[in-house]
Chain A
Amino acid sequence: MCATCGCDQPGGVTITRINTEEGEFRPVSNHGLVTAHHHHHGGQESSSEKRRIDLQQDILSKNDTQAGHNRHHFEAGHILAVNLVSSPGSGKTSLLERTLADLKDQYKSYVIEGDQQTLNDANRIAATGCEVVQINTGKGCHLDADMIHRSIHQLDPQDGSVVFIENVGNLVCPAMFDLGEQARVAIISVTEGDDKPLKYPDMFESSQLCIINKIDLLPYVNFSVEKTKEYARKVNPRLSFIELSATRGDGMGKWYEWLKNEYEAIGSRKEVAASV
């Protein structure tokens, strides 16, 4: 059984590098989480004697260790890695398309796309000229640190760049999995319920920034920006907010300013880490 999603196929996860130069996709790797498929059957010298083992091991320690390696790799190369999380349809890909187009002269950017199926999002990103890999998780509901590790090897982002990770559209499961990112951004759109931060608190608790997208639609929907902020602050008093419309462009400047601040903060984080 696949460790990520529980499907019966060993090849549950595929990672595909989109070739931007030729304008078509080219699968570079197509293998599952083989390393996670342990099917051992005990040692040769097994005895039937009962033994108690006191372990106290964190269940997600493997992911957390890998996430730590990813983070170290990013920081060593002064690379800003941002993990974008939201429900499906909040506008993550549209936000990225506009961001990549607007900031193409400021940063060298890369995108890691996570979806259960299809290369659609990666092809949208590739059309902007940005280098991108698509992770298809099969039946899996979230990205994990190992998938990011393998994607980084394919992308090989240059020092001083920005890596955007678009997580699988899901407000529950991605919250638990550290990818090694420097910042997590939760996106909610005004066509969703304004009580989402209360219904799905873990995601808002684990994020540093909350983007409220599609504000151009506010006149047509029953959504209170202030209530959303109030609810989100209940689960995470430190959360920052940016209201924007990725399609019309309102508020995008504030998002770029936030990215710039995060980008500039990497150097100071490195110094703190070195002095510890």
Chain B
Amino acid sequence: MHELSIVMNIIDIATEQVQQAHARKVDSIELEIGTMAGVEMDALDFSWSAAVRNTVLSDAERVVDRVPAIARCGNCGLEFRVSEPFMPCPACDNVLVEYLQGKELRVKSLVVS
């Protein structure tokens, strides 16, 4: 369950930011997680509740922006929304596509106090 590693990395990032800001805790944290980022949201929720105890994130409100996957076809250039993982181009059925967004796995912002 790599979601736990992901949560532990978020805790590290948040702890560093709180220290740098000479703050005490995180009030809210905004995450950007693409629909093709390979993260299972249920597993993330489960890991989160166990891992943030006694950390700067223990009382933080968590906001997750799910970034929809958009791909560009390598053959006809069509940009399309990816509605199922690894779908081919809806116009020409080509499988060689480039993902323009949807793989994000980022801490976007924090509110600390």
Are A and B genuine complex partners? Answer: yes
Interface residues of A (CB under 8 A from B): 1, 3-6, 36, 38-40, 42-60, 62-63, 140-142, 144, 172-173, 175-177, 201-202, 205, 233-235, 237-238
In the complex, what distance in Å separates the CA atom of A1 from the CA atom of B15? 14
Question: Can you name the residue of chain A whose Cβ is closest to the Cβ of B4?
Answer: A6
When the two chains form the complex, which single residue of B10, B12, B23 contacts A42, counting CB atoms closer than 8 Å? B23
Question: Can you name the residue of chain B whose Cβ is closest to the Cβ of A58?
Answer: B106
When the two chains form the complex, which single residue of A6, A58, A202 contacts B105, counting CB atoms closer than 8 Å? A58
New A-B pairs, 9, CB < 8 Å, besides A1-B51, A175-B38:
A3-B9, A36-B12, A40-B19, A45-B22, A50-B111, A53-B111, A53-B112, A55-B107, A144-B5
Chain A residues, Cβ within 8 Å of B18: 40, 42
Chain A CB within 8 A of B92 CB = no
Q: 23 A-B pairs, CB-CB below 8 angstroms? A: A1-B51, A6-B4, A6-B51, A36-B8, A40-B56, A42-B19, A42-B56, A43-B19, A46-B23, A46-B24, A51-B112, A54-B108, A56-B107, A57-B106, A59-B9, A60-B105, A142-B2, A173-B5, A176-B38, A201-B85, A234-B88, A237-B96, A238-B96
Which secondary structure dominates chain B's binding surface? mixed
Contact mask for chain B residues 1-44; partner A; CB cutoff 8 A; 1 contact, 0 none? 11011101111110111110111110100010000001000000
A1 and B8 contact, CB distance less than 8 A: yes
Chain B residues, Cβ within 8 Å of A234: 86, 88, 95
When the two chains form the complex, which single residue of A48, A237, A238 contacts B24, counting CB atoms closer than 8 Å? A48
In the complex, what distance in Å separates the CA atom of A51 from the CA atom of B113? 6
In the complex, what distance in Å separates the CA atom of A25 from the CA atom of B23? 47
Chain B residues, Cβ within 8 Å of A55: 13, 17, 106-110
In the complex, what distance in Å separates the CA atom of A45 from the CA atom of B17? 14
How many CB-defined contacts (below 8 Å) exist between A and B? 127
When the two chains form the complex, which single residue of A45, A57, A205, A237 contacts B13, counting CB atoms closer than 8 Å? A57
Chain B residues, Cβ within 8 Å of A62: 9, 12
B23 and A47 contact, CB distance less than 8 A: yes
B22 and A46 contact, CB distance less than 8 A: yes
Interface residues of B (CB under 8 A from A): 1-2, 4-6, 8-13, 15-19, 21-25, 27, 31, 38, 47, 50-51, 54-56, 85-86, 88, 95-96, 105-113
B24 and A205 contact, CB distance less than 8 A: no
In the complex, what distance in Å separates the CA atom of A1 from the CA atom of B53? 10
B109 and A59 contact, CB distance less than 8 A: no
A53 and B110 contact, CB distance less than 8 A: yes
Question: Can you name the residue of chain A whose Cβ is closest to the Cβ of B16?
Answer: A38
In the complex, what distance in Å separates the CA atom of A172 from the CA atom of B86? 16
Cβ of A197 to closest chain B Cβ, rounded Å: 9
Chain B residues, Cβ within 8 Å of A233: 95
B107 and A176 contact, CB distance less than 8 A: no
In the complex, what distance in Å separates the CA atom of A141 from the CA atom of B88? 31
